[in-house]
Amino acid sequence: MSRSAHPAGPRHADVLPEGHYSAPADDLNALDPKVWAHTVGRDADGVVTVGGITVTQLAEEYGTPAYILDEADFRDRARAWRTAFGNDADVFYAGKAFLSRAVVRWLHEEGLNLDVCSGGELATALSAGMPAERIAFHGNNKSPEEIERAVRAGVGRIVLDSFQEIVRVAHIAQSLGKRQPVQIRITVGVEAHTHEFIATAHEDQKFGIPLAGGQAAEAVRRALQLDGLEVIGIHSHIGSQIFDMSGFEVAAHRVVGLLKDIRDEHGVELPEIDLGGGLGIAYTSDDDPREPHEIAKALTEIVTRECEAARLATPRISVEPGRAIVGPTAFTLYEVGTVKPLDGLRTYVSVDGGMSDNIRTALYDAEYSVALASRTSDAEPMLVRVVGKHCESGDIVVKDAFLPGDLAPGDLIAVPATGAYCRSMASNYNHVLRPPVVAVRDGAARVVVRRETEEDLLRLDVG
Ligand code: LLP
């Protein structure tokens, strides 16, 4: 994730420290459309607007910090994925990236399916009216209660992750007098080029059943024998924040190889193949993600080619993008509390949130960008580190970025591309309250997930 150090001469501090940052943009007030939601811009006074509303209005009405979600952009991106894959494939939005009832309704309306991975996500999906047959249920350790709820609800597929789960799901389905459609998640042995914690197709990790050593073939063999299961396909998810399609190519090749072996051994052609999610987005101007139509074309071509070579009918393809749909559609709005220049080092800008609303920087060394949002400025760029209010020095939101040198307490700053895995991984560390998610569209804003209150915290603490 590293980039070359700033090549220009020092600007704010006497000496710029070593770091992973690019030169400051020529115009710090410019908002790169690659990293900002579609309707974001600045009004005549230079205030950032989204969906026709200024961030100052949003801060006044809903407070800070807040996740501001551009509903039109979310729908556009969901629709773009749906259209790109067409009617012969299915797009399952990965709810772990961010799930709320409003999001479930938008997905339903835009014709997407939904991937859930816990009882809580399943409950959210069902309560917002997502038809059960359009839900896939994931997870490496689903509890018997969760499995029973999913089977009773009639979810379209359960993705099986272990030998024990094959038996467990079959048993539960049979005891309910049902035959549950399932996919079997395998690991294909691909090293995805991403952070270790979010790579999932190499063999030495907790997800899936390894293709190596015939284990995946054995899982299929056992599942096909169980009356409670209808084996509909094979699943592979190679990791997250991936830009290079070659990992998917290898995965598709190996999954199709397994389908061929299954056909040869059992005389059964499984009708579906799921290639998971994991497509990268732009967090900074240096990232260059692919468009959904390019991804759809590439994946469809790979699977079709591999199936032709194996003389198999092309199975129905499904994908599970989470980040690529919701990630770019939201930004986090913070108020600056303190600005602390450290001579010869950098300036620490403290905001009213931090690692409790965005753990990704601390956890994955993720890179973000940031902009002054409540006004523009022509001041010289200064190298900053945007930090939170938590009692930990690793509480960093944006590690290295440039903001105008006249930044002051009370300014609003916005961190783009925080739609995925920020609210969904938010915590109450230091009893900091989790921010709301405010959806904006066509000049109107509404809270879709409200801000946590101290009463919420105290209600759980039963004394
Ligand atoms: N399908 C499966 C089976 C998955 O495990 C995941 C993500 C997805 C789809 C969606 O991946 P996406 O398209 O959103 O990359 N917390 C980490 C990401 C963890 C992803 C876990 N699984 C992060 O903040 O980067």
Domain co-membership, 349 together with 241:
no
Domain co-membership, 204 together with 84:
yes
Compute CA distances 449 → 67, 98, 323, 355, whole Å. Answer: 10, 11, 19, 19
Element housing 448 (H / E)? strand 444-449
The answer to the question of residue 407 being in a domain is: yes
Domain co-membership, 206 together with 308:
yes
Domain co-membership, 218 together with 316:
yes
Domain co-membership, 253 together with 357:
no
CATH of the domain at 197: 3.20.20.10
The answer to the question of residue 353 being in a domain is: yes
pLDDT at residue 18, rounded to an integer: 67
pLDDT at residue 139, rounded to an integer: 97
Q: Is the dihedral of CA 274, 276, 280, 283 positive or negative?
A: positive
The full 3-state SS of 356-392, as one line of letters, equals CCCCHHHHHCCCCCCEECCCCCCCCEEEEEEECCCCC
Whether residue 30 contacts residue 24, with contact meaning beta carbons closer than 8 Å, is answered with: no
**Number of folded domains in the chain?**
2
pLDDT in tens, the chain (463 residues): 333 333 333 344 445 666 667 778 889 999 999 999 999 999 999 999 999 999 999 999 999 999 999 999 999 999 999 999 999 999 999 999 999 999 999 999 999 999 999 999 999 999 999 999 999 999 999 999 999 999 999 999 999 999 999 999 999 999 999 999 999 999 998 866 665 555 666 777 899 999 999 999 999 999 999 999 999 999 999 999 999 888 998 999 999 999 999 999 999 999 999 999 999 999 999 999 999 999 999 999 999 999 999 999 999 999 999 999 999 999 999 999 999 999 989 999 999 999 999 999 999 999 999 999 999 999 999 999 999 999 999 999 999 999 999 999 999 999 999 999 999 999 999 999 999 999 999 999 999 999 999 999 999 999 9
Is residue 321 within 6 Å of ligand 1 at its C-beta? yes
- Site to probe by mutation for ligand 1, drawn from 74, 93, 96, 364 as the one with most ligand atoms within 8 Å of Cβ, is 96
Domain co-membership, 51 together with 84:
no
Find the domain containing 344 and state its range: 41-70+328-459
Active-site residue flag, 391? yes
Reported residue count of the chain is 463
Domain co-membership, 372 together with 301:
no
Domain co-membership, 337 together with 424:
yes
Task: Single out the residue in 258, 292, 326 at which a domain terminates.
Answer: 326
Is residue 138 within 6 Å of ligand 1 at its C-beta? yes
Is residue 276 within 6 Å of ligand 1 at its C-beta? yes
Q: What is the pTM of this model?
A: 0.94
* Rounded CA separation 73/68 (Å): 12
* CA 366 to ligand 1: nearest atom: 25
Rounded (5°) CA angle 359-27-65:
30
Domain co-membership, 162 together with 254:
yes
- Site to probe by mutation for ligand 1, drawn from 320, 329, 360 as the one with most ligand atoms within 8 Å of Cβ, is 320
In sequence order, the 6+-apart residues with CB closer than 8 A to the CB of 460 are none
CATH of the domain at 61: 2.40.37.10
The answer to the question of residue 410 being in a domain is: yes
The upper half-sphere exposure of residue 323, i.e. CA atoms within 13 Å in the direction of its Cβ, equals 23
The answer to the question of residue 5 being in a domain is: no
The full 3-state SS of 116-147, as one line of letters, equals ECCHHHHHHHHHCCCCHHHEEECCCCCCHHHH
The answer to the question of residue 16 being in a domain is: no
pLDDT at residue 195, rounded to an integer: 59
Task: Single out the residue in 303, 326, 349 at which a domain terminates.
Answer: 326
Instruction: Output the CA 320–ligand 1 centroid distance in Å.
Output: 9
The answer to the question of residue 18 being in a domain is: no
Domain co-membership, 111 together with 229:
yes
Domain co-membership, 121 together with 219:
yes
Task: Single out the residue in 299, 326, 353 at which a domain terminates.
Answer: 326
Domain co-membership, 63 together with 197:
no
Whether residue 114 contacts residue 143, with contact meaning beta carbons closer than 8 Å, is answered with: no
Q: Which of 25, 55, 15 is nearest to 39 (CA)?
A: 55
Whether residue 251 contacts residue 214, with contact meaning beta carbons closer than 8 Å, is answered with: no
Instruction: Output the CA 118–ligand 1 centroid distance in Å.
Output: 14
Q: Which amino acid is at 7?
A: P
Whether residue 340 contacts residue 347, with contact meaning beta carbons closer than 8 Å, is answered with: yes
CA dihedral 50, 52, 54, 60 (to 10 degrees): -100
* Tokens coding 413: 């700053």
The answer to the question of residue 321 being in a domain is: yes
Q: Whose CA is nearest to atom 23 of ligand 1?
A: 421
Rg of the Cα atoms in the chain: 23
The answer to the question of residue 33 being in a domain is: no
Dihedrals phi, psi of 156, to nearest 5 degrees: -65, -30
* Tokens coding 399: 């590690």
